[in-house]
Chains A and B, each alone.
Chain A
């Protein structure tokens, strides 16, 4: 009887191990936040071409990490599949912390797409904050129009090498 239990336990362990390996083989890398749920990724170009179609929906994107938040690792910018495109994946401060050395690696990230609409004043503050992060000079007079952009509220990501 004892031997049967042991056999069952071993089978369960092997089965669990195989299952884990399959998942790792699918997207091997360091996981951040919640495990990815969606099976398919959407191209950043598609997302940015018709953002309203994805607004409020959970999406998964994949691409090269162009930049990481220098202060708290609270966002990554993912490159698009076409030139000059990128999308920011913003996570709650301290909940997920992306390492700065993830820059240049490939990430698959998941979260809800949302729209950010800023008045001229808010846009100036936003750009001022961004300039401070990069240690750059900023002239508020250069921002003369309201800003609209889209971001993903990240729930989880996998950073691959």
Chain B
């Protein structure tokens, strides 16, 4: 039948076109789905340090003293700025982007280093529609393409393995999955 031929051509070519975006959305989907367990955009490494008592009040610490403290952590480190969060806690911002939180009375500290998850951050940027603007329409178009892929996909094969046979069972299971979860959680 001629319509099936066109259906299959459409399914095939849209599949090729959608490949890149599907990979982006799938990988980012996995990443942001577990946002509560990990940070999908940044890798945050915290290292505890022991510096010894610094001062009674964080507001008393000068930039010079803070620089000396930073040198204890890393001889190469330079302090960009400091800020007393409360009388016990001082925050140091290093020039290389690291930050250090110090409990000044006990001298216990923690160095935080934040680095970008290169590649994944860009994918999440697109997946979560952060750019908005024209990307919104591109993402809409992709959603329409996915719909077309879904509908053309069920008519690719005819016969016992098509939508009148095995396909019907598999499509039914696929439709039941969201319904089942909605019934359980909604």
Chain A contacts to B: CB under 8 angstroms: 64, 66, 70-73, 79, 83-84, 86, 94, 97, 99-101, 103-104, 132
Determine if A84 and B81 form an interchain contact, defined as CB atoms under 8 angstroms apart.
no
Which residue in chain A gives the minimum CB-CB distance to B130? A97
> A71 to B97, Cβ gap below 8 A?
no
Asked if B87 is an interface residue, CB under 8 A from chain A, the answer is: yes
Residues A103 and B99 in contact, CB atoms below 8 Å apart:
yes
Contact present for A104 and B99 (CB under 8 Å): yes
How far is B42's CA from A99's CA once the two chains are assembled, in angstroms?
Answer: 9
The answer to whether B114 has its CB under 8 Å from any CB of chain A is yes
> With the chains together, A161 CA to B61 CA distance in Å?
24
B80 in contact with A104 (CB, 8 Å): yes
A64 near B83 with CB under 8 A, answer yes
Specify which chain A residues have a CB less than 8 angstroms from the CB of B50 in the assembled complex.
Answer: none
Cβ-defined contact, B84 with A84, below 8 A = yes
Cβ of B159 to closest chain A Cβ, rounded Å:
46
User: Is A100 a contact of B84 with CB atoms below 8 Å?
Assistant: no
Tell me whether A66 and B116 are in contact (CB under 8 A). Answer: no
Beta-carbon nearest neighbor of B87 in chain A: A84
Q: When the two chains form their complex, are residues A100 and B83 in contact, meaning their CB atoms are under 8 A apart?
A: no
**Interface of A, helix, strand, loop or mixed by DSSP:** loop
Counting CB contacts under 8 A, is B91 at the interface?
Answer: yes
Chain B residues near A79 (CB-CB < 8 A): 83
Neighbouring B residues of A97 by C-beta, 8 Å: 128, 130
A66, B83: Cβ atoms under 8 Å? Answer: yes
Report whether A71 and B85 are in contact in the complex, using a CB–CB cutoff of 8 Å: no
Known contacts A64-B81, A83-B84, A94-B128, A104 near B44 by CB under 8 Å:
no
Least CB separation from A84: chain B residue: B86
Q: A101-B97, A104-B80 are in contact. Are A94 and B87 (CB under 8 A)?
A: no
Q: How far is the CA of A138 from the CA of B84 in the complex (A)?
A: 23
Contact: A94 with B129, CB < 8 Å? yes
- Since A64-B81, A101-B97 are in contact, a sample of 9 more A-B pairs with Cβ atoms closer than 8 Å, ordered by chain A residue number, is A64-B83, A66-B85, A79-B83, A83-B84, A84-B85, A100-B39, A100-B42, A101-B116, A104-B94
